[in-house]
């Protein structure tokens, strides 16, 4: 059995290759039971959590286990720790133990970019990125793999982290203009694509600021009572999700409007597997606002870890 650490994951993956592998994998036959997420202390305000995500297809079985401790930054530790175990589908033989933390960064960004390849306008030029944490550079790199952005505006709660991210990305993509910004009507109205990868429990912008034709990508929140967007944003959008089962169990972006009686699960236009099987541009006109909400799936972990194993 192989032990695959963070550095090997970094060397094995590229976004064009991973996005293509995810498309093929989501379009193919697979089994993905509902994932189990446990809040370790329901009375606490820290939302410390442990989760187990199983999935399999005709060649490999996988399970990811992870812990999420959002307050860890104050103690100089990562907020997310994860491992992925892969088994051979034919005989059940253990194949590899893969660094799940690094795989999660790659697959989360790649899933978002795959959805954007179907939903973002093909002439999208301005990307607005909320968040400057560990996931942010992966998100920007993944989206740059599917659209030709001229400008990326970074909105960061921590200005120092935002400036560091801007410098890193500017060096990697000198042809793109990277700037810092604030959430306001002017910025949101100028965005072609908005990505949110934050720990915010309240909406990041006013839905009334959105311009026709915007695509919105949400991956930061995993809690029923929190959300990165307001109800107005959801109601203005054609909504897609990575997994209806997971999103409708965990994501306040949909659950809060459902509780308000203004949205229903039937209004979700499709899941990522549906999108991948169609594998075509899904936007219904240039003025349509589209939204993709992702909370993560075991299948994306399985496919990314399998690709790492094949490339290692």
**Is residue 58, in this structure, part of any structural domain at all?**
yes
Q: Is residue 208 part of a domain?
A: yes
Residue 29 sits in a domain whose CATH number is 3.30.1780.10
Q: Which of 14, 187, 13, 20 is nearest to 117 (CA)?
A: 20
70 and 43 co-located in one domain: yes
Q: Identify the pLDDT of residue 41.
A: 85
For β-strands 49-56 and 60-68, DSSP reports them as antiparallel
Residue 258 half-sphere exposure toward CB, CA atoms < 13 A: 17
How many domains does one find in the chain?
A: 2
Whether 196 and 207 have beta carbons less than 8 Å apart is answered as no
Distances (CA, A) of 279 to 25, 109, 120, 275: 12, 18, 14, 6
Does residue 104 carry a pLDDT above 90?
yes
Instruction: Confirm whether 109 is domain-assigned.
Output: no
- Mean per-residue pLDDT over the chain, rounded: 95
The per-residue pLDDT for range 124-158, each reduced to its tens digit, is 999 999 999 999 999 999 999 999 999 999 999 99
Cα distance between residue 243 and residue 223, in whole Å: 15
Distance of alpha carbon 128 from the chain centroid: 15
Residue-wise pLDDT for 224-268, tens only, equals 889 999 999 999 999 999 999 999 998 999 999 999 999 999 999
Together in a domain, 21 and 68: yes
The SS3 of residue 84 is strand
List the strands of the sheet with 80-88, edge to edge: 2-4, 94-99, 80-88, 60-68, 49-56, 36-39
The angle formed by the CA atoms of residues 138, 142 and 146, to the nearest 5 degrees, is: 170
Residue 70: what pLDDT?
83
Where on the phi/psi map is residue 246: left (φ > 0), alpha (ψ -120 to 50), or beta? alpha
Please report whether residue 113 resides in a domain: no
Say whether both 289 and 148 belong to one domain. Answer: yes
In angstroms, rounded to a whole number, what is the distance separating the alpha carbons of residues 245 and 148?
A: 33
**Domain span at residue 159?**
118-297
């Amino acid at each position: 059995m192989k032990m695959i650490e963070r550095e090997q994951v970094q060397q094995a993956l590229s976004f064009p290759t991973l996005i293509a592998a995810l498309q093929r994998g989501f379009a193919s036959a697979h089994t993905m039971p509902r994932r189990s997420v446990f809040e370790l202390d329901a009375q606490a305000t820290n939302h410390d959590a442990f989760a187990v995500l199983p999935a399999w297809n005709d060649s490999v079985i996988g399970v990811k286990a992870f812990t999420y401790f959002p307050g860890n930054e104050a103690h100089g530790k990562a907020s997310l720790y994860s491992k992925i175990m892969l088994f051979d589908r034919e005989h059940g033989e253990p194949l590899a133990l893969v660094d799940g933390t690094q795989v999660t960064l790659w697959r989360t960004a790649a899933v978002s970019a795959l959805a954007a390849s179907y939903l973002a306008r093909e002439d999208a030029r301005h990307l607005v990125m909320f968040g400057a944490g560990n996931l942010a550079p992966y998100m920007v790199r993944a989206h740059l793999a599917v659209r030709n952005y001229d400008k990326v505006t970074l909105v960061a709660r921590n200005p120092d982290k935002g400036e560091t991210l801007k410098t890193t990305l500017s060096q990697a993509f000198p042809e793109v203009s990277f700037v810092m910004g604030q959430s306001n009507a002017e910025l949101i109205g100028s965005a072609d694509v908005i990505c949110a990868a934050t720990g915010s429990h309240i909406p990041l912008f006013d839905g009334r600021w959105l311009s026709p034709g915007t695509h919105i990508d949400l991956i930061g929140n995993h809690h029923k009572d929190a959300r990165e967007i307001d109800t107005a944003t959801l109601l203005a959008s054609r909504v897609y999700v990575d997994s209806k089962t997971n999103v409708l169990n965990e994501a306040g972006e949909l659950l809060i409007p459902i509780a308000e009686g203004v949205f229903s699960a039937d209004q979700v236009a499709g899941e990522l597997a549906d999108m991948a099987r169609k594998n075509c541009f899904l936007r219904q006109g240039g003025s349509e606002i589209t939204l993709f909400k992702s909370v993560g799936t075991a299948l994306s972990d399985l496919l990314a870890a399998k690709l790492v194993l094949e490339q290692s």
